Structure 1
């Protein structure tokens, strides 16, 4: 099996087993200070996970090699299943874990050369294979919350299949769940901001795992719902279209919510002013305006796609 594919599959097993071992050592997580200055609230969590993965859980334990990993791809019915033994990954290990301030230009370039999108991850795993020169890098996103739902990363920085480790903490308890970023998204977009942020939720990811991730005996099964992933991925790929649809609903809805966002009324006022301007135009002027707007939208798309990794 090609090394990079093996490493990607390794992550399904490794992240599940990491979640299990962290749950079994939850008291160590309880010692983390989650209430520091807001700008650095996850600093201790990142440092703890770096040390824990490097020193205590840098590969799948030998006693687990008898287990199997199965990926079941479905669009309402099972149409593909891929199964392999944990022993496939016995030679893979995490050789280094990089924090954001440790990401050099050379590391960033190495990630890009692999064809992965570099989006300033919270943790970057360096994965190697025993007795070879094979090496690859896989990013991990960390999320922590005292409640449940929080704004996620900006849409330009989200990779749907990126792995996320989600921590929910209170003064008395700590819970964790892991999965792929797309499965933590609630389909609600936070706006306005410097950049729109899809909302993510500990509960959403936990419920997804209950439904789509099963441990049956020695078999770990991921059910990968292609329809659900495509629907949530659209929120990331066409977030402007999602917002436009929402704003069209705003101007057509006669009901006003008690605690409605201020920009809803700004959208209504803008629409009224635009309609007033448009109604005064002749047919040629309307056609010209439509042409200019479409040209600007297409040009912006070209420019923003060209800068998608910035």
Structure 2
């Protein structure tokens, strides 16, 4: 079953460096008429969470934009200090998001990577770190205190739970460490995203188009009153475009967005990848899949079958979610 899609491609694209524990990124490219979208929930996610991602691909319209270009950061995986400096220099961005607390990376390794990024960016550049919920509040407070000397714009999802984030913010305030805390997974994977605000657990929200179910749901979070940063879910340029449109539609955008991630892949499924110039991405026409390039990036038969079966299961769930929302509105 492929309805409502006219064409489906399952891709497998190698990563330049191991990222989020993976070496190859898999996902689906979905076409309806001349409109391409992407569905790429990570394989370990259950059907209900994956169906939320699919709600974004089922949208048939785009948000109204209020800006033509969006500032973006360069994303630095858990790599050596020299490689981190190379990535910063090649990107031409004035903001860097640095992954920390990765498997096999000690605090000393993280600090060395951050020092290299600071040297490459210069004193005026902004640095944010992302721990992907790896730390306890006590461990996070210790690590952030030691890293604060580098000059941190904010720390993204240092702890896993909302309660832990709230506890950490209290600990940092007690220590006099003025590093803001941003919530990512605590927003996009929560049954109730409002809990982050209710518990005073974050200074900023990191929002992602696919995981939150599309641009409409993302824009609703603007009512929370916290600054928002749009970030990618490790997508091809097809998916990145929807994140770019979302960032261009936010009523206020005071921080560079984490959607300059096409370079993390060895290849792309479009002719011209969404790559930042002068630290910005510009809004252009909606991209289409280059079938010649996509043909070289197709997943094997077993992987393709797995994704198609998953799509069949999740379509029903996604439609149920959308119907429930329409009844509530």
What is the TM-score when the length of structure 1 is the normalising length? Answer: 0.27
Q: Which has the higher helix share?
A: 1
Larger radius of gyration: 1
Q: Which has the higher contact order (CA 8 A, sep 6+)?
A: 2
Q: Which has the higher strand share?
A: 1
What is the TM-score when the length of structure 2 is the normalising length? Answer: 0.26
